[in-house]
């Protein structure tokens, strides 16, 4: 979808009022009172998407909110106090484990480390330190292993660390901005202006086919943009970027673009301009968050806007757990939440 068409749809469909939701722990109990507020409306009043059924949840939600005609439920993940530990630009999940970077002040070596906790229902436990990384920006998984970038000392500048479910080992050189494919052993890596398919053999990268030779030549608007990987979902590669502001605009425009595995563009999604933060791609939705508690939700397959909401949270980083359930890191509260969209 071209940006002009998308902008018209958003302008035509967004409601002007966003209703805040109060962050009240444990509201509702067995009686099921809603603790949240309604969000903005949906573009052209789209119908509610049919989503897979979820298993019952016995824990009362921390809050609820609506985007379009759909209600989302927020659950604080309790059991481990992460307030003086977590500080990350990325979170990923491997099985039931959530991986994140830590604050430099938490360790004597004054480096960022990678830690993980285990999630069961709405409880996290078993905090494990997997060693220093010296970086908080790059981390990905293909559902079999977790990769992160290590800059912890001069001899390990831009090194690749591989966690295989048992231990973390320093391997070869880090490579660009990768996303793991959960349906294969491939990673899709942005290197320079290229998008290419790569695999790992004995801890070293092997370069396969190039899907895009130079993404800045795809669109005249891409001449000044920098692509960054988000994820691979159902054979689609999702990449984020910022369109530079025009003369009459105050902010750059955050965007997400989807490609197939041949490098063909599929769709574009326009994000929140006001303090933009993380993207998540779920079974049914593409979700963007803003630091003021904003969420914007699209139908993933049509790129049609479904609705917006504003809640009392600062959702800095997002990661899809399963289905339409998203893990969110609130960098102000230093807490993890699960949001069932």
* In the chain, where the domains are located: 76-340
Three-class SS state of 30:
helix
pLDDT digits (tens, 9 = 90+) for 197-247: 999 999 999 999 999 999 999 999 999 999 999 999 999 999 999 999 988
- What is the pLDDT at residue 45? 65
Report residue 191's pLDDT band, with 50, 70 and 90 as the boundaries.
Answer: very high
At the topology level of CATH, where does 76-340 sit? Methylamine Dehydrogenase; Chain H (2.130.10)
Q: What are the residues facing 237 on neighbouring strands?
A: 232, 259
- What is the pLDDT at residue 246? 86
- What is the pLDDT at residue 22? 30
Mean pLDDT on 164-192: 95
> How far is 212 from 214, CA to CA, in rounded Å?
6
Q: Which tokens hold the place of 47?
A: 């119908």
> How far is 318 from 173, CA to CA, in rounded Å?
26
**Model-level pTM?**
0.85
Match 């990673």 to its residue by tokens: 187
In this structure, how many other beta carbons lie within 10 angstroms of the beta carbon of residue 281? 24
CA dihedral (116, 120, 121, 127) in degrees, to 10, reads -40
């Amino acid at each position: 979808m071209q940006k002009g068409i998308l902008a018209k749809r958003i302008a035509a469909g967004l409601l002007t009022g966003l209703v805040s939701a109060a962050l009240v722990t444990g509201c509702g109990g067995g009686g099921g009172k809603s603790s949240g507020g309604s969000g903005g409306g949906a573009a052209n009043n789209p119908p509610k998407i049919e989503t897979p059924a979820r298993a019952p949840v016995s824990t009362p939600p921390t809050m609820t909110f609506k985007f379009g005609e759909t209600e989302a439920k927020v659950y604080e993940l309790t059991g481990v106090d992460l307030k003086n530990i977590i500080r990350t630009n990325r979170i990923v999940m491997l099985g039931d484990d959530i991986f994140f970077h830590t604050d430099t002040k938490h360790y004597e070596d004054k480096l960022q480390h990678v830690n993980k906790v285990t999630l069961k229902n709405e409880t996290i436990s078993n905090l494990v330190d997997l060693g220093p990384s010296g970086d908080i920006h790059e981390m990905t998984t293909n559902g079999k292993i977790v990769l992160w970038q290590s800059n912890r000392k001069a001899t390990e500048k831009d090194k690749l660390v591989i966690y295989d479910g048992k231990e973390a080992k320093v391997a070869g050189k880090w490579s660009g901005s990768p996303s793991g494919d959960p349906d294969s052993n491939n990673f899709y890596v942005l290197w320079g202006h290229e998008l290419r398919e790569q695999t790992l053999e004995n801890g070293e990268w092997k370069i396969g086919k190039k899907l895009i030779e130079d993404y800045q030549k795809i669109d005249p608007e891409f001449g000044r943009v920098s692509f960054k990987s988000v994820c691979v979902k159902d054979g689609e590669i999702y990449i984020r970027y910022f369109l530079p502001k025009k003369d009459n605009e105050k902010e750059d425009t955050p965007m997400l673009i989807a490609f197939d595995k041949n490098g063909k563009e599929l769709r574009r999604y326009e994000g929140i301009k006001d303090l933009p933060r993380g993207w998540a791609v779920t079974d049914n939705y593409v979700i963007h968050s803003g630091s003021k508690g904003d969420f914007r939700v699209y139908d993933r397959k049509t790129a049609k806007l479904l609705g917006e909401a504003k809640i009392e949270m600062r959702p800095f980083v997002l990661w899809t757990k399963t289905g339409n359930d998203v893990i969110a890191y609130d960098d102000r509260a230093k807490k993890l939440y699960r949001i069932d969209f």
